[in-house]
């Protein structure tokens, strides 16, 4: 079925008091079917009759993590890159010392600061 | 595997056996109604793995609430109402979650499309229906799902959603207007 035909069919089906059975059949023939995976029934029974409380909580946790990951990851990477560029421009190098912010401090100064001499 | 003897049994018999703890009987209820739940949940939330979890939760909740099922409504209507409530609650949960992280208005749609991206290739028709549904406001989407995917009449839709028939009709009319605009862009 062509896209335009399907669009017209959908809009027409909503104009009637009840969606005609023929529409449901055409929709199915066009590949519009919603089903769960083959082991759905087994998974439900396992969650009811098996030890599953932890898995439910885990599932919600991972779904939340998945939702937020692609938002936070990109922003985080951009922030890290900006920080590294600013260190490189300010310190002229990307050594551990410069990342820690102690790149231009002499060892004697640190000892003096810590010991008071 | 569900025992052969349960396949021809009435819903009321299956409910009674399930309440008594019969795993096979409840398995037959799941088999009988899983496609109906899939149409509602996936129609409302998108065709993703997360929808499958919600579908499972519908049946888990059903199992625990079966002792309170009095048989006043048909079992299919009872399950359908649960699937609708779970779907709408999940949409509310996602909205709260999105607002917590200051995500923009269409973030839900993008997340669904992102999550759908790794699934097997779907038919163009299914892709079109999914996209159109996800672009609809949820309160109009549920009406379209009930009418188009479940084949309910306006009256039956009103009964399942606990809404007056007039409200369903006006939302259906708004949904049609929205769909016309959405379809032009797809």
| B10 and B87 inside one domain | yes
Give the domain CATH number at B174.
1.10.10.10
B40 and B74 in a single domain? The answer is: yes
For chain B, helix (H) and strand (E) counts, in that order, are 10, 0
- Min Cα distance B38 → chain A (Å) is 5
Contact criterion met (CB < 8 Å) for B124 and A31: yes
pLDDT tens sequence across B84-101: 999 999 999 888 877 776
On whether both B153 and B96 belong to a single domain, the answer is no
* Dist. CA B50–CA B118, nearest whole Å: 13
Chain A residue closest in CA terms to B61: A48
Q: Which residues of A77-99 are buried (b: 16+ CB within 10 A; e: fewer)?
A: eeeeeeeeeebeeebeeeeeebe
Q: What is the DSSP letter of A92?
A: S
Domain identity same for B12 and B94: yes
- Asked if residue B114 is part of any domain, the answer here is no
Judge if B146 and B183 occupy the same domain.
yes
ipTM of this complex: 0.79
Q: Which residue range(s) make up the domain with A52? A: 35-115
CATH number assigned to the domain comprising residue B49 = 1.10.1740.10
Whether B99 and B146 map to the same domain: the answer is no
pLDDT for res B57: 95
Number of structural domains (chain A) is 1
Structural domain tally of chain B?
Answer: 2
Say if the Cβ atoms of A30 and B42 lie within 8 Å: no
- How many Cβ pairs closer than 8 A exist between chain A and B? 120
pLDDT in tens, B100-156: 766 555 555 555 554 454 444 467 888 888 889 999 999 999 999 999 889 898 899
Which residues form the domain of B72? 1-103
Chunk chain A into consecutive blocks of 10 residues (it has 117) and report each block's average pLDDT, rounded to whole numbers: 81 78 82 90 91 62 79 88 90 82 77 81
């Amino acid at each position: 079925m062509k896209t335009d035909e399907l669009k017209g069919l959908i809009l027409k089906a909503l104009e009637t008091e009840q969606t005609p059975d023929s529409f449901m059949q055409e929709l199915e023939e066009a590949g519009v079917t919603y089903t769960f995976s083959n082991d759905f029934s087994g998974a439900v029974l396992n969650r009811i009759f098996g030890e599953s409380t932890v898995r439910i909580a885990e599932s919600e946790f991972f779904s939340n993590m998945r939702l937020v990951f692609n938002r936070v990851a990109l922003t985080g990477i951009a922030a890290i890159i900006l920080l590294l560029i600013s260190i490189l421009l300010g310190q002229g190098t990307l050594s551990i010392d410069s990342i820690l912010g102690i790149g231009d401090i002499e060892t004697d100064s640190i000892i003096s600061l810590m010991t008071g001499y | 595997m569900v025992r052969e003897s349960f396949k021809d049994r009435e819903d009321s018999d299956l409910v009674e056996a399930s309440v008594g703890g019969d795993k096979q009987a409840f398995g037959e209820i799941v088999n009988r109604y899983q496609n109906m739940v899939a149409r509602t949940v996936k129609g409302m939330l998108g065709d993703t793995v997360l929808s499958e979890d919600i579908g499972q939760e519908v049946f888990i909740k059903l199992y625990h609430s079966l002792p309170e099922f009095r048989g006043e409504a048909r079992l299919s209507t009872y399950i359908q109402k649960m699937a609708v409530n779970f779907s709408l609650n999940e949409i509310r949960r996602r909205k709260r979650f999105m607002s917590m992280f200051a995500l923009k208005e269409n973030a839900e749609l993008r997340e669904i499309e992102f999550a759908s991206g790794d699934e097997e290739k779907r038919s163009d028709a299914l892709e079109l229906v999914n996209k159109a549904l996800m672009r609809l406001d949820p309160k109009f989407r549920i009406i379209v799902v009930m009418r188009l995917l479940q084949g309910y009449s306006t009256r039956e839709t009103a009964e399942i959603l606990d809404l007056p028939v007039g409200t369903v009709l006006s939302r259906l009319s708004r949904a049609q207007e929205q769909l016309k605009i959405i379809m032009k862009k797809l």
